[in-house]
Amino acid sequence: MDRTLLLNTTFEPLGVLSWKKAVTIIFLGKVEVVREYEKEIRGVSMSIRQPAVIRLVRFVRNNHTTVKFSRKNIFLRDDYTCQYCGKRYDPKGLTCDHIIPRSRGGTTGWANIVTSCIRCNHKKGNKLPEEADMYPKKRPSRPNGFYLLMLHLGVGVKSLPDYWKDYLFLRD
């Protein structure tokens, strides 16, 4: 595993680092090791176990509680899945659709924008959901920073390191 989970002093997940960056800040005294992988990192004069989870020594204010409204974050929230047909796409095959079109008084914001494939977006066009008989699979809302971090980490994907689950509230 090449990734290390970074926690705040409160054990709140802040992000993911490469193991090399993690080792650097361990030796600088900025973090403490919480969990380690079995794999050893060997140097000329010493060896250490690769860090799996590290925790900051000093508290940092986490400004990730509000998520920036962006195309990338909309796609992340909707898991790169068209909210009309339910198919997953590469970002190049996706657009953002106003559920209530702007020309009909719809706003541009988290609650009115969903991920749509190009085909479904053209099919719906300038119509309201009931006129097109096309309704989003799930109700759109503003994601919180923790939720988006989990999506970015690939929660639900089997590649998520087992050592992280206690700190991401994912233990069965």
CATH number at residue 105: 1.10.30.50
The share of the chain scoring above pLDDT 70, in percent, equals 87
Q: Does residue 55 sit in the same domain as residue 13?
A: yes
Instruction: Tell me the HSE value of 12 on the side-chain side, using a 13 A CA sphere.
Output: 15
140 domain-assigned: no
Q: Which one-letter amino acid corresponds to residue 149? A: L
**pLDDT score of 46 more than 80:** yes
Residue 160 predicted with pLDDT over 90: no
Does 7 share its domain with 23?
yes
Distance CA 66, CA 74 (A): 14
- My answer on whether 58 and 75 are in the same domain is no
Quick one: 56 and 75 in the same domain?
no
Mean of the pLDDT values across residues 37-50? 93
**75 and 128 co-located in one domain:** yes
* CA dist list (Å): 82 to 35, 73, 106, 107, 155: 38, 14, 19, 20, 19
Neighbouring CB atoms inside 10 A of 28's CB total: 9
Claim to verify: residue 46 and residue 17 sit in the same structural domain:
yes
Looking at the domain assignment, is residue 139 inside a domain? no
For 117-126, how does the pLDDT look when each residue is reduced to its tens digit (9 = 90+)? 999 999 999 9
Give me the DSSP letters along 6-52. Answer: EE-TTS-EEEEEEHHHHHHHHHTTSEEEEEEEEEEEE-SS-EEEEEE
Same domain, 107 and 77: yes
Residue 63 pLDDT exceeds 80: no
Q: Is 82 in the same domain as 122? A: yes
Q: For the chain, what percent of residues have pLDDT higher than 90?
A: 66
| Residue 33 located in a structural domain | yes
Question: Across the chain, what does the average pLDDT equal?
Answer: 89
Phi/psi for 89 (5° steps) reads: -135, 160
Tokens of 146: 């923790």
pTM, entire model:
0.61
Q: Looking at the domain assignment, is residue 138 inside a domain?
A: no
Q: Is the pLDDT of residue 44 over 50?
A: yes
Q: Which residue has the higher pLDDT, 109 or 67?
A: 109
Same structural domain for residues 101 and 57? no
User: Comparing 9-13, 31-35, 84-88, 133-137, which segment has the lowest mean pLDDT?
Assistant: 9-13
Residue 101, domain member (yes or no): yes
Instruction: Report the number of distinct structural domains present in the chain.
Output: 2
**pLDDT for the residue numbered 153:** 66
In a domain, 137, yes or no: no
Domain limits for position 153: 3-64+145-167
Q: What is the largest CA-CA distance in the chain?
A: 71
Tokens of 37: 């992988």
- Mean per-residue pLDDT for 88-107? 97
- Judge whether 88 and 71 are in contact, CB under 8 Å: no
Q: How confident is the model at residue 157 (pLDDT cuts 50, 70, 90)?
A: very low
Answer yes or no: is 36 within a domain.
yes
